[in-house]
Amino acid sequence: MIIDMHAHFLPRAFVSAASKGKPWYGWELLRNAEGQEFLLVEERGFPLPPGCEISDPEERHRLRKSSQGVDMEALIVIAYMWNYHLETKDSIAACREVNEELGDLQKSYPDHYRGLAVLPMQDPVAAVKEMERSVKDLGLKSFAIGASINGKNLDDPTVLPILEQAAEAGVTLSVHPPMWARAGEHRFPRYYFANSFGAPLESSLAAMSVIYSGLLDRYPELKLFFSQAGGWVNYGVGRFTLRYYQREDARPMAEPPENYLGRMYFDCLIHDPESLKLLVSRVGADHVVIGTDFPAGGDIPVEGGAPRWIQDQDFLTGEEKDLILYKNAAGFLGLGDVAG
């Protein structure tokens, strides 16, 4: 069995509005002369990869199964559409529409889809209310949040209380970089550095912000997942540990930062075997999961993508491969014992 913890979709409410030539909370769909589609909002344009729409859930599942062996997807809304830029009332409404779609998919196709609900993170009160509604009314028990919220790190006083409420509620959190308002984006004008540097940088800042907030000291059972293999932190954590011992202002948490990495989950999108070896040695095979970034283009560039890549790694044992392919994700998503 294979569970993909990092797969994207385009909200059906947006697709419906776009088919009528109408915007969805300011978002519009445009096509250029070559037929390429773009999402446009507030004069910002983002290329739309083909395959994001889930017009036929069974057909999408057949595609994922035949091309990569993926049995289940944990669905994250396409990362342009966190909608943290909206006024709170509009963000609440957009989140409700997305989460109701996810609830429908999860209920109708329980063997193929799990929904990672979204929250109006720019408003802590509204975010907690939508979290409670999603759990109670929709059966959604895992949530996707941006690695930063309108430029604020996850330890910001306006953001951290939402994570604390998630821990209190016993839900899990998946952290994914935003596609705009990224750290350092003015330094990435060329070479696709906005993604190659920008996405891992956001994941790194998010993971370390959580560690340094002391959240995992207060809530050791909280499960957090970071895409892009957590960015750079698993490879540069020694520098953080150095400062932890050198500086009083660099140790607000109870233990050295490296001690927390093995309590977080990371996808395998690190793209080279040597880095994968280090990731597994650092956090353990029991905290690495499959991520493909489907259909956004960040997958491992081999036939069969990330699942096949993991299966082909000789340094992993059969049990370690099973952990990465599905067992860890099943535990994170609360699926119980899942047969391979």
302 in a structural domain:
yes
49 in a structural domain:
no
42 in a structural domain:
no
189 in a structural domain:
yes
Q: Name the phi and psi angles at 176, rounded to 5.
A: -135, 140
286 in a structural domain:
yes
Determine the pLDDT at residue 56: 96
Domain that holds residue 205: 3-11+54-332
pTM of the model: 0.95
Look at the chain and report how many structural domains it folds into: 1
33 in a structural domain:
no
166 in a structural domain:
yes
Q: Which residues of the chain have pLDDT under 70?
A: none
Q: What share of the chain is helix, strand, coil (3-state, %, to 5)?
A: 45, 15, 35
CATH number at residue 270: 3.20.20.140
262 in a structural domain:
yes
Determine the pLDDT at residue 33: 83
Determine the pLDDT at residue 111: 96
Determine the pLDDT at residue 43: 82
